[in-house]
Every structure is written in structure tokens, then in C-alpha cells.
Structure 1
Amino acid sequence: MKFKIVMAMVRPNITEKVVDAARKEGATGDVIISARGSGSKESKSFFGLTLQDQTEILMFLVEEHAVDAILDAIRISGELHEPGQGIAFVLNVEKVAGLESQMEKFKEQAKSKYL
């Protein structure tokens, strides 16, 4: 099996909505990391302190057949077409360890997709 990481950087107020949408499309688990960052706009300042927007980094390790559906679900649920809502992208994975408990679910998903 081949795996990919689907990553999304979204505002904390929509994290749950995005994770739920990804799970409905086959994501079996997630990692959520709280972060700060700025997009293409200049950061705001207050009394000389730079203010950065809160963001959450969502990571889903998924079997490659599920990537398109999960990425579309993230894009739609997170309204990523709107400026400042976030971004999502996919990374290749060379090797994986520790997924034995999820392999049956991945096999079932692959069967339903291709057979």
C-alpha cells in the first residue's frame, strides 16, 4: 500500500468541521497541532507587538486512493476558496511503521473503491 499525508492549516474555529468531513471520506485518524502564523497579508501590530493569527495544523496519514476525496472534503468544509481560511496540500510518504491496527480498514476502503 502507498500512503500520503494530507495536511491542512485552518482556523481553530473550523477544525472540528474539517476533521469530521475528512473522516467521512475515509481518514482514519488525525493529528492536530496548534500554531501561529501569517498569510500573505502583513501582520497587525498592537503597541509595538506583532499579532499573529492562531491556526491549527491538521495531518491525516491516508492510503493514496482516498486522497482526492479527503482533500476535496477539506477544501469544501473549510471553505478554502475564501481568502484567509487556510490551505491544504498532500505530501508523499516513503515508509510507514505502526499502522498494523488500521490495515484492515485500509484494505476494506481499497476494495470498495476498486472492486
Structure 2
Amino acid sequence: MMHFKLIVVMSRTDLTDRIVDAAKAAGATGATVVPGRGTGIHEARTFFGLTLDIQRDISFMLVEEHLTPGILAAIHEGGNFASPGTGIAFALRVDEVAGLESQIPRFKEELEALAKDATPTS
């Protein structure tokens, strides 16, 4: 049985391409990116008394559960998340999925390879 996680990334717009590229290099098959705006623990910037919204991109990646730690690590590094204000990422458990039929053969191959690698040899 295959298990999936949804990785959600909220990041500065100028970091999105680097983040998605890093995630794909770590095993993600793609991402959906939507524009957003956000606030943080610090006051919003103002200009002549007008509040400026902080533009963000929100990226969604549906990934196989076993790939999640490596992809999150790649996102953290690619987005320079150790620096304040660059972004955050987290993963949510996904209970049901529809529409991945075209990717099922690849998923099965990866699971079989993992099972083979985990089998002890005598």
C-alpha cells in the first residue's frame, strides 16, 4: 500500500524556483504554486502610512511518504530557511488520493526497490 504526504511550502516569491528545483532533485515529481500574501510575527512594512502586503508563494507537493524527510531537507536548504523571513514548510498526512494512475507503476517500482534494499542478506 502506498502512503502519501502533502508538503506545503510558504516562501518568498524570489525563492520559489530554487525551492521547487531542490524538491524535484530530492524526488518530488512536481509542484502546484499559487500566489498568496502573509503576515508574520513582525509588523508589516508601511510606506507613507500604507501597509504593504508581503507577497508569498504557496507551493503544494504530493509526495510518497518515504521521500518526505529528504524533500523537506532539500526545501529547507534550497530556500535558505535558516534565515528569518524566507519561508516555512511542513508535511500533512494524506488519507486518500485519486488521479495518480499514470504514476502507479513508478511508485510500485520504487516500493519494490526499497523492500529489496531492506531485506537482510545471509
User: TM class by shorter-chain length?
Assistant: over 0.9
Tell me the residue number matched to 1:89: 90
Tell me the residue number matched to 1:65: 66
Distance 2:108 2:23 in 1: 18
**CA 1:113–1:14 in 2, change beyond 3 Å: closer, same or farther?**
farther
Distance 1:39 1:112 in 2: 42
Distance 1:113 1:77 in 2: 26
RMSD: 1.2
Tell me the residue number matched to 1:12: 13
Percent identical pairs in the alignment equals: 47
The normalised TM-score by structure 2 is 0.88
- Structure 2: gaps of 5 or more residues: 117-122
* Cα shift readout 1:44-95 (whole Å, capped 9, x = no counterpart): 1223321111110011001101000100000011010110010000011110
Q: Does the CA-based 8 Å contact 1:8-1:88 persist in structure 2?
A: yes
Tell me the residue number matched to 1:44: 45
Q: Does the CA-based 8 Å contact 1:5-1:62 persist in structure 2?
A: yes
- Structure 1: gaps of 5 or more residues: none
Distance 2:86 2:39 in 1: 11
Q: Does the CA-based 8 Å contact 1:65-1:110 persist in structure 2?
A: no
Higher Cα radius of gyration: 2
SS at match of 2:16: helix
SS at match of 1:73: helix
- TM-fit CA distance, 1:14: 1.1
- Structure 1 segments, 4+ long, off by >3 Å, are 111-114
The normalised TM-score by structure 1 is 0.93
| Paired residues, number | 115
